[in-house]
Each structure stands twice: as structure tokens, then as C-alpha cells.
Structure 1
């Protein structure tokens, strides 16, 4: 039976979006629901709820793919990347997004050195941001990194990453199964130890909005 989307959108609007939904947010959730219905509808609805919660958190509630900003001041560079910048270097790099990306992501995550330009080419993109050449390669977009911002591809990346464990090695079935329900530690699928209670709360809220009844 298809999900009752009218009920779903009424509930998420009132409980997760402060009473107002923009068309872009609706479109983003529709894309996620379409992928679920087409290819995963026989799986645990808690998986869907936690993926929706993850997109909600990772995109700042936009429910659309986002791109890493990297527009740091000198002071912020020294706080966020203290091992990468001296005070003089931070002053030189501040505000130069491409140069910052090439430096902070050099020689890691499959990237080449700073001069290679890989840091900028493979900066964070998506509903769940992938960063670094090796991670782009996992999802088949190393040769076309901008595809990580494609509305369809970004949903597929999130589903593959969270269902098959391609982000961190942890997958949804580790936390939601007939014998387990762990909204808090499911955050290990994306970023262990990062706002796990908050994202778990979002997941529970989305789960309450999923219904298959028509009455």
C-alpha cells in the first residue's frame, strides 16, 4: 500500500517545519519518498524516517543538496584547522574558498596534494555531503563530481550510503531491525558522536508522520 503522502506532509509541516513548507522542501522530500516507494518500500519504515531526519539535519532543513561553503575568516581557519594554518597562512588564505579546500583536503580521502586541485574538486556536496576523491568514487561520481548535487543522484547516494554502509561502514540494519531500535546510535552511520540525540529526535518525529491509512 502506498504511503498516505497527504497525511505525511500535513504532519511534517506542523511538527518539523514550523507550519510552513516551501516548494523546494516538498520537492526534496518527494524525491526521497519516490526512491523509497520505487525500490525500498518493503523495508523498515524506521530506515526511511532516519534518512529523512539525516537529510533534514545535514541540509539545514532545506531537504535539497547543499555544497560545502569553506568561506572562512583567518580567525576561524585557526580554530577549525589549527594544524593546517599558521597565523600568517590563515591571513593569506582567508576568504579564498578554492585555496582553502585545496589545502585542508590535500593528501587525504584519496586526494592529491594541494596543487592537484582535488580538495576543491571533491569538496562536500549532497544531501549527505561526500568529501574526497575516494568517497566520490564509491558512488560513481569521481569523474563528474557535480553530479553529487543532482536531485536524483544525491538521493541515491544517501540511500546507498546509509543502507549499504558506504559512509562509515555502519548501516541502517545495524540499528533498526525486528530486535533493535536505536535512534541515538544510528548517527554512527554518518558521523559518530555528532548530535546523535538531536538527529534521533528528528527521526522519531518523521516516523510519527508516516502512515499508510487513507481515512
Structure 2
């Protein structure tokens, strides 16, 4: 009986630590600005607006695990190279620049295929967004799953739209649309695999611990700012 009661108490405690209540954003940003590893500039101006856009969408989804949100923010931070805004692959300003960047990686044998080659309609499927989706088939499958029909594969530049990029980021990771692995595979109940969670986006990553660190940093902010 004592073990049963202790188990319930432990479960209740764990739930309060992982389930996101209403987020006090003033406290959230105050906690983040105290971080010794996240730059203070991340929480000002356009970058702060980018974080708010993610938080706005998150609050509409019904997802509740703070670790999910923390890892999403950590992923966006890494994939956008700290801008918290959708970017082209190679941090390029033009499509041609991204196409050349991917081609260079292919010629250097860093990737197995040049997925940036334009199709018959001149559309290229290099990485775009808050999380870099690549390959035509992925643009097509993600777009259809999100209810956009063929819009994303017909206009891949939509992945650079600020609002759509947030939906792709959050739902892609929550539903496992990128690699088949989802946030629930790494964060569920008492399980918290911060390093392994990188497989949700990039199974072959050799520096998964970097994103794990970012996620943990954001989790520290979130854990102190829910009401």
C-alpha cells in the first residue's frame, strides 16, 4: 500500500514538472535572460518575435509536455542558426545560392544526393524553414499531412513563411513527419532522451548533444515560468 501511495505521489510530482500550464512570458524571458549559455540578444527584437510566434502556436495545439516545447525551441535555435526565423539552406538570401551550397556538399561527398536540382518546373527542394525540410517527397508528404494539399510541393518557398514554418516545426516534430520519429519517442512519462531526440530531425547528426543542450536551457526557463 505504501509503495502504491508513493508511486502516485511520484507520478503527481513528475506531472507538475513536465506538463505545461499557462506560460507567464514575462517570467519566461526573465529566466532565459539569466541563462549563462543562451545569449541575451536571443530574447530581443526579431528573435523574441520569432520565439513568441512559436509560443503562440504551441498554446493553440493542446500539447502540454514542457520538454516537447523546450526541445522544439532548441531545435529552432540550432536550425535557424540563432535567428529564430525561417532560413534557406546555407543561410542564403537567394535560391541560387542554396542550390550552389547543396551542390558543393554533394560534390564534396558530404551528402549522398543533390536534392537541390530544380525539377522541370524550376522548383528546388533544398532546406527551408525553422527546421530544414529537404527533398521533393518530403515537401509533398509534409504539406499533405498538414492539410495544405499540394501547396507546399508546388510552392516550396511557402516553408519560408513565418507562420507556416512554425506549423511545420511543431507538428513535424510532434507527429514524426520528418524521419518517422516523434517527440513522444524521446519524451514520455519518465523518459527524457535529450540527445536521442535529434533523430526526430536528423538521424545522422554527429553533434546531437548541441541541440540537447539548447533544449535543456529552454526547459530551465520554462520550468520556472509556468503558472
Give the shorter-chain TM-score range. 0.7 to 0.9
Q: How does 1:16-165 map to 2 (within 5 A)?
A: 16-20=37-41, 21-41=43-63, 43-69=64-90, 70=98, 71-72=100-101, 78-80=107-109, 104-105=114-115, 116=120, 121-140=124-143, 141-165=152-176
**DSSP-derived class of the 2:39 partner:** coil
Measure, in 1, the Cα distance between the counterparts of 2:194 and 2:112: 34
Where do 5+ consecutive residues of structure 2 fail to align? Answer: 1-20, 91-97, 144-151
Count, aligned residues: 186
- Alignment partner of 2:153: what SS? coil
Larger proportion of helix: 2
Partner of 1:182: 193
RMSD (Å) for aligned C-alpha atoms: 2.5
Q: 1:14 to 1:131 in 2, by over 3 A?
A: same
Q: Distance in 1 between matches of 2:137 and 2:111?
A: 24
Gaps of 5+ in 1: 85-103, 107-112
In structure 2, the CA distance between the partners of 1:35 and 1:175, relative to structure 1 (3 Å rule), is: same
CA offset digits 1:163-210 (Å, max 9, x no partner): 111100000001111131111101110112411111111111100101
Encode CA deviations 1:67-96: one digit per residue, 9 max, x unaligned.
Answer: 013344998764245877xxxxxxxxxxxx
TM-score between both structures, scaled by the size of structure 1: 0.77
Distance of aligned partners of 1:146 and 1:73 in 2 relative to their CA distance in 1, 3 Å threshold: closer
